[in-house]
Amino acid sequence: MFFESLNKFRRTLVFRVTVLCAALSAASSLLALLFFYEVMISRIHSRVDKILESELKEVSSWLASRGIGGIDVEIVNAAESMGTGDIFFRLLSPQGEEITSSDLDSWKGIGISRIALKDLAEKGPIFETLRPPDWKHKVRILYGLAGPGIVLQIGWSLKDDEQLFRDFEQVFGIIVVIVFVFSTLGGWFTARRGLSGLGRLTETVLAISNGEMGRRAPLTGRGDEIDRLSAIFNNMVERVQFLLKEMGEIIDNIAHDIKSPIGRIRGIAEFNLNGGRIPKEYQGMAASTIEECDRLLATVNTMLEVSETEAGVVAMSLSEVGVSALIEDACDLFRPLAEDKGLNIEVNTANECFVFGDRKKLQRAFANLLDNAIKYTVLGGHITASVGRSDKGVTVSICDTGIGIPSEEIPRIFDRFYRVDKSRSIPGAGLGLSLVQAIVRRHGGEVKVSSSHSLGSTFTVILPQKPSEER
């Protein structure tokens, strides 16, 4: 149940908007981190380079004023004052031979770059950043001319700067997490608030599709896009309701205009037949007239029922319906008719399965399916009615061993007045399956058909168990 609710939430627009906000905030935070990281590296390298250039100038000034004598003591003192583990000085010949240096015990592994010495004469001071083997921290190196024929190599440890980077990354990581959480919550709250009107509109649409034509989408008065959409939708429903009312009146008038003369014709024929007022040779004709009038009246009534069910102009009487008992009763009702044709009806029902629907309409739908199965199954055939459960709800299958339906005809069997029996040798108006489909769809279900010509057909009705307002 939890995972079903979670999957349902994942498909909502609120979830997608929330994920989008969270993704944008995370991406923005990462971009900001990269930007500040690059800025910090640039600033720190710039600061270190200025320190190294300052030291290069001091050594150059010493050599210019006092010469090479005593320079070894001077650079040792300078390194000790700044920390021998943080900086070192090394005087080199242009060929890379060491002249003197500060304490290099902490700087093992720092060699002399021949490429830097070569480029020094053409490009001026050369800066390098390197990480010697087995070192945890990087080093910033400067090669510069300290005097005629003397190259000064200065190394500066970036240990403190890298620690600053790590502290920055930890703090920024915490900030990113906080921003992500608050942006997710903010995105969810904003999406819920902004799309709440859409949810109410959806509920209204579902209610109207289930026959509650008096429902209207609520307006918040904010005047936003959803409010305008709700207002337009309400106007549309008003118009549709008006058109349905007009259509209902037209259908009623047409039905009345058709049924009244048919009823009068039937009444006259029945009066004359029962009253013995017509010769015996015409009594058969009168009986046929009564029979055809009954068939026409049944066709008109069924056509009206199909139209009203599809349009939803008549409210359904909803209650909890036991489908297994409904099918068993329907099979008991049709069993004598089946036995007259030499057919066997078998019922397979699981434990009682309940749906929320209109009992009479469902009875009519299943009765039509059983009636069709009996009509189109030949002598000695077999009909099976089964009730079970599936992921989609309650499943009812009516399976017969009748004449079957050609595959090319199956897409059209639910059309009004369409009949596979082109010769009309079997009684019917071609409205039974149309009514079945209209009733099942009104209940939020679906009808499936599988058939093989001359081998039989199976009609499967799937009805949701949840009440219509929850679908």
Q: pLDDT value at position 170?
A: 81
3-class SS at 31? Answer: helix
Q: What is the mean pLDDT of residues 459-465?
A: 88
Q: What is the mean pLDDT of residues 329-336?
A: 90
- Distance CA(222)–CA(228), nearest Å, equals 9
Q: pLDDT value at position 23?
A: 79
- Distance CA(366)–CA(328), nearest Å, equals 11
223: left (phi over 0), alpha (psi -120 to 50) or beta: left
Q: pLDDT value at position 142?
A: 92
Over the stretch 256-268, which tens digit does the pLDDT of each residue have?
Answer: 667 677 777 777 7
For residue 136, pLDDT beyond 60 = yes
**pLDDT tier at 471 (50, 70, 90 boundaries)?**
very low
Read off the pTM. Answer: 0.47
Give 143 or 35, the one with higher predicted confidence. Answer: 143
- Distance CA(310)–CA(434), nearest Å, equals 10
Percent of the chain at pLDDT > 90 equals 4
Least confident of 100-109, 313-322, 384-393, 449-458: 313-322
Helix (H), strand (E) at residue 354: strand 354-358
**Selection from 149, 148, 153, 143 nearest residue 95 by Cα:** 149
388 within 8 A of 399, measured Cβ to Cβ: no
Residue 460 β-bridge partners: 397, 448
Over the stretch 29-57, which tens digit does the pLDDT of each residue have?
Answer: 778 877 877 887 788 778 888 988 898 89
Task: Give the length of the chain.
Answer: 471
* Alpha-helix runs per DSSP H in 276-311: 280-311
Q: What is the mean pLDDT of residues 215-230?
A: 76
**pLDDT tier at 160 (50, 70, 90 boundaries)?**
confident
Q: What is the mean pLDDT of residues 11-37?
A: 77
3-class SS at 415? Answer: coil
Give 37 or 339, the one with higher predicted confidence. Answer: 339
For residue 286, pLDDT beyond 50 = yes
Give 13 or 344, the one with higher predicted confidence. Answer: 344
221 within 8 A of 232, measured Cβ to Cβ: no
Please provide the DSSP assignment of 143-193 as one string.
Answer: EEEEETTEEEEEEEE-HHHHHHHHHHHHHHHHHHHHHHHHHHHHHHHHHHH
Over the stretch 394-449, which tens digit does the pLDDT of each residue have?
Answer: 888 999 988 888 888 888 888 777 766 654 556 656 677 888 888 888 888 888 88
| Neighbour count for residue 129 (Cβ, 10 Å) | 13
Least confident of 23-37, 293-307, 359-373: 293-307
Q: What is the mean pLDDT of residues 379-388?
A: 88
3-class SS at 381? Answer: coil
**Selection from 197, 203, 205, 199 nearest residue 224 by Cα:** 197
Least confident of 144-148, 149-153, 360-364, 406-410: 406-410
What are the distances in angstroms from CA 353 to CA 69, 297, 350, 367? 107, 35, 7, 18
Which amino acid is residue 452, in one-letter code? Answer: S
Helix (H), strand (E) at residue 241: helix 225-275
- Distance CA(99)–CA(68), nearest Å, equals 10
Least confident of 100-109, 206-215, 307-316, 355-364: 307-316
For residue 194, pLDDT beyond 80 = no
- Distance CA(281)–CA(286), nearest Å, equals 10
Strands 344-349 and 139-147: unpaired
Residue 303 β-bridge partners: none
- Please, what is the average pLDDT of the chain? 79
Structural domains of the chain in order of their starting residue, each with its CATH number: 2-162 (3.30.450.20), 225-311 (1.10.287), 318-470 (3.30.565.10)
Per-residue DSSP letter, 225: H
| Neighbour count for residue 405 (Cβ, 10 Å) | 19
**pLDDT tier at 469 (50, 70, 90 boundaries)?**
very low
**Selection from 338, 319, 315, 335 nearest residue 327 by Cα:** 335
Q: What is the mean pLDDT of residues 122-136?
A: 84
For residue 466, pLDDT beyond 70 = no
How far, in whole angstroms, is CA 214 from its chain's centroid?
30
Q: pLDDT value at position 470?
A: 39
Q: What is the mean pLDDT of residues 74-91?
A: 88
- Distance CA(128)–CA(234), nearest Å, equals 72
**Selection from 51, 73, 52, 47 nearest residue 62 by Cα:** 73
Question: Nearest 5 degrees, angle CA 80-CA 82-CA 88?
Answer: 70
State the virtual CA torsion across 306, 312, 315, 316 in degrees, nearest 10. Answer: 60
Least confident of 128-142, 157-171, 446-460: 157-171
Give 299 or 382, the one with higher predicted confidence. Answer: 382
- Distance CA(369)–CA(458), nearest Å, equals 10
For residue 241, pLDDT beyond 60 = yes
**pLDDT tier at 89 (50, 70, 90 boundaries)?**
very high
Q: pLDDT value at position 9?
A: 58
**pLDDT tier at 113 (50, 70, 90 boundaries)?**
confident
